[in-house]
Amino acid sequence: MGILCVAVGLFIVVFAGRAGNDTTWVVIGGVAIAMLGIWFLAAWRARTTIDAEGVRTSSMFGRRFCRWSEVTDVDLDIDANDGPPMVYRVTIRRRSGRPFTLPAPSDSVRRAHHANPDFTDQLATIRSYWSASARPPQSRLP
């Protein structure tokens, strides 16, 4: 979607000059479509990585890292406006600092069609890493 918007926007800008007359609004529209495509490309790169140490996120708004020991809760936020789609997001709540929403995984549901059918398993994996870090270390007997 992003590449298509960038291509269409650039096509409009390049060929608007050949159309003659006043093409200012056409050029502005082409630039806006290209910028929208760049935004889609940046948002597409949003990701979440988890391991035994913590959770890392990257999105067009920056990167974050949080150790599991700092996490107080892993919330499932459901945005069920007056109509479809229902949007499911994961929010990390920390001991100190503001909570943050993970750019992925997320899910959007329209009429029982899930955009991310693996969302439930991904949420369970995130919660299992968090709960494993919250357990006291097991002592080894000699």
One DSSP character per residue, 88-112 reads EEEEEEESSS--EEEEEEEEEEETT
Quote the pTM value. 0.64
Which of the pair, 58 or 91, is modelled with greater confidence?
A: 91
Using one digit for the tens of pLDDT, what is the confidence trace for 93-116? 999 889 998 888 888 888 778 888
- Confidence bin at 138 (pLDDT 50/70/90): low
Bridge partners for 50 per DSSP: 55
The residue ranges of DSSP E strands in 1-142, in sequence order, are: 47-50, 54-59, 62-67, 71-79, 86-94, 100-110, 113-114
- Both tokens of residue 108? 């959007």
Domain 47-134 CATH assignment equals 2.30.29: yes
pLDDT value of position 78:
86
pLDDT in tens, 60-89: 777 889 999 999 999 998 887 766 778 889
Residues 37-67 have pLDDT tens digits of 777 776 666 788 999 999 998 877 778 899 9
User: pLDDT tens-digit profile of 114-130?
Assistant: 888 899 999 999 999 99
Q: Delimit the domains of the chain by residue range.
A: 2-44, 47-134
Quote the tokens at residue 62: 């920056």
Structure tokens at 45: 């790169």
Torsion of CA 57, 113, 37, 77, to 10 degrees: -40
